[in-house]
A and B are shown apart, each in its own frame.
Chain A
Amino acid sequence: MARAGGWAMVAAGASLLLFLTAAALAGPWLAPSHPDEISLEESLLPPGPGHPFGTDYYGRDLLSRVLAGARVSLAISFSAQLVALVIGVSLGAAAGYFGGWVDWLVCRLVDIVMAFPDLLLAIGIAASLGPGPSSVLLALGLVGWPGLCRVVRGEVMALREREFIDAARVAGAGDWWVIRRHVLPNVAGPVIIATSLGLGSRILQEASLSFLGLGVQPPTASWGSMVHLGLRWLSRAPWLVVFPGLAVALAVLASNLLGDGLRDVLDPRLSD
């Protein structure tokens, strides 16, 4: 039963995420106008036939800007999660597999990173690197890996006691072969789950950082910076906050659905 529900969640999450990504990629063709095209006489128009999401203070078409923002936000979040994935999996696998001082070192590193609230640390790193998309990407990646690292470390430690690891050794395999051929494939399930759940956090954090003005700089749009700019007109033109905010919520929901669904589907019997 849990399984059928799981598959439904996976399908919903994946298609939503796919839809958002496709919309972001097709943005330039879908958008009614150029996202940065200013037309002051159309300032702060409510959603209507010409501008489905309305316009902002400069008369820029909001739909076009949300689509353009999707490109930026999703690109940064996906890449940040990729950075987190690479760091988390390699450190986690090394710690779990080799144990001893490697494990000690990695665990302390995780402790340190986890000691700070994620967002605060990301702000600190991004600020010290200077504003811009690449520093946000790096900051989010550097903040996002400990969760994955812990998952991988735990799984690998349990795997290491399994006899097939010894069996591979007896067949002549070295550490690298064992990790690549026997350890990583067997942690793939939990890693996929943790990655898609983490993606939700990255999207949210990217929005928060851009909201604070640390991400892309104007006039380039990202969801977070759009919410930030829209706040000033909240009472007069609430659509300026509602649509980018909705986009963030939708993307986060999609990745959480995917992650939770995958957990239901993959966890009961990983070996199936």
Chain B
Amino acid sequence: MELSDQLKQTLDALKEQFPNGLSVLMPALHAVQAAHNHIPAELEQPLAAYLAIPAEIVHEVSTFYFMFNNRPVGRHHIYICGNLSCWLRGAETLRDHLADRLGIQPGETTADGRITLSVVECLGMCDHAPVMLLDGEFHPDLTVETVDRILAGLS
């Protein structure tokens, strides 16, 4: 597997902004994930070569940060917060509800590859607990009803 020309362009632009290849790694992984849905294992070597850094470091970083997916995820990725403030306001009920509705356990992806459900730590939205982050948008003050409505709106 190779880096696409488009990705290479993005990386070239990033390289301009940072003093060395290593500093480009995090933004680069964000870009790879945006293009490929996850960080394909086969792209770690080419990415390392392009940034002139060791592949081991790429893999260290891609496995350290929670938001980098080392395996494919659904078209939609639900991050539901399970931390204290959300839990105090019913996050566990919502988590179970989501799991039921989707027919999967947290950490899994629906069989049709549509939706991945992840239970995450505090999202910094505790004043709107319980909360979830879905495809880049926060959904505040969730109830079972709003969750159902959000699910219904997904393609």
Q: Do A and B come from one complex?
A: no
